[in-house]
Amino acid sequence: MTEGTEEVTLQLLNMLITAKELSELLDGEIIGDPMVRVHSPSKIEEGTEGTISFLANPKYEPYVYSTKASILLVDRAFSPSQSVDSTLIKVDDVYASIGNLLNKFGEGSTEEYQHSSLAFIDGSTEIHEETSIAAFVSIAKNVTIGKGTKIYSHVGIEKGASIGVNCVIYSGVKIYANSVIGDNCIIHSGAVIGSDGFGYSRSKDGKYTKINHVGNVILEDNVEIGANTVVDRGTMGSTVIRKGVKLDNLIQVAHNVEIGEDTVIAAQTGIAGSTKIGQRVVMGGQVGIAGHRKIANDVQIQGQSGVISNVREEGKRLNGYPAIEYTEYLRAYALMRTLPDMKKRIEELERLLKEKSEQ
């Protein structure tokens, strides 16, 4: 869930739940009517009676005093500066509480698993009976799919690929041969897993010959891949996305890249071949990383930065192109903004010196 988004994503539609019941689920503290009921979510600025919303970004606090939402989830340390009509439920972590509620409401739900008659499934596959496969899905030879996995329409899965338990593969995803998808992974529409890397040999006459890529892609458990993101397979060996990695939309991950556990990368980032990225790295949007580089654990890279050398120091913060230490970048940028004025002053000094020399 993106920081600052004030929309509750709970699936409460068509049901009623009291503030008391919610508080018990979340180990929260109620301020207001414990028996007030809600049936659906709302944005805090558009809240109406019978809805639940939340406050997690301080800039939205003014809406706390004007919203008509019946229940608001707020941080346990939150102290209103004026009267509030909504019932408040104070929790330790608002975003975590939203996730907890999603999980709670999903528990015990009955679900019918089915395989559409309009899907093509090769007879050599091993697919658990408790899976959902929609129309126009194509599953080739020797594919394995685990229990609880959902595959939406127009997904293509090539021979030898394996998909773990409780995965969600959205419409239009393409999974190339021999790709390995772990448990609890989510792959959004249009993503391509295992396509050829961008590898060619150049002859003396300037012509390019394609280098065949015979490796694969491995996504470990709890990985999420955004829409239209591409992860290329290894030239030889594997491109590896470790446990807990979250990739946004429109990201390019080249051949033989390795991304460490719990790393998060925002949209439009490009990572060139054979780069190794550490654990818990955070990258903003439109970051570019040159090939065959190493990025240490816990590094933070600001959006639109370009990394052209190794980053060996853990926890380093980088910005700019070429990327440098964040505070250095801020100092350099502050200086850069003064350059037009400095130019004028230098020109004025040159003029005065010239006049003096002429005298």
Apex 139 CA angle, 249 and 267, nearest 5: 5
> Which helix (DSSP H) or strand (DSSP E) does residue 264 occupy?
strand 264-265
Residue with tokens 């015979």: 214
Which CB contacts under 8 angstroms, 24+ apart, belong to 303-308? Answer: 303/266
The amino acid at 146: G
Distances (CA, A) of 95 to 5, 73, 100: 10, 9, 9
Distance CA 55, CA 59 (A): 9
Percentage helix, strand, coil, to 5, in the chain?
Answer: 20, 30, 55
Residue 352 main-chain phi, psi, to 5 deg: -65, -40
Catalytic residue, candidates 115, 188, 213, 255 = 255
Residue 62 main-chain phi, psi, to 5 deg: -55, -30
Within a 10 A sphere around the Cβ of 195, how many other Cβ atoms? 15
Question: What's the number of CA atoms in the CB half-sphere (13 Å) around residue 189?
Answer: 5
Q: Are strands 180-181 and 162-163 parallel, antiparallel or unpaired?
A: parallel
Query: What is the maximum alpha-carbon separation in the chain?
Result: 98
Tokens of 311: 């980053």
String of DSSP letters for 92-120: S-HHHHHHHHHHHHHTT------B-TTSE
**Which conformational region is residue 320 in: left (phi greater than 0), alpha (psi within -120 to 50 degrees), or beta?**
left
Cα dihedral 239/245/251/255 (nearest 10): -10
Q: Is 255 in the active site?
A: yes
DSSP state of 45: G
User: Cβ distance 238 to 216 under 8 Å?
Assistant: yes
Question: Which residues are part of the catalytic machinery?
Answer: 255
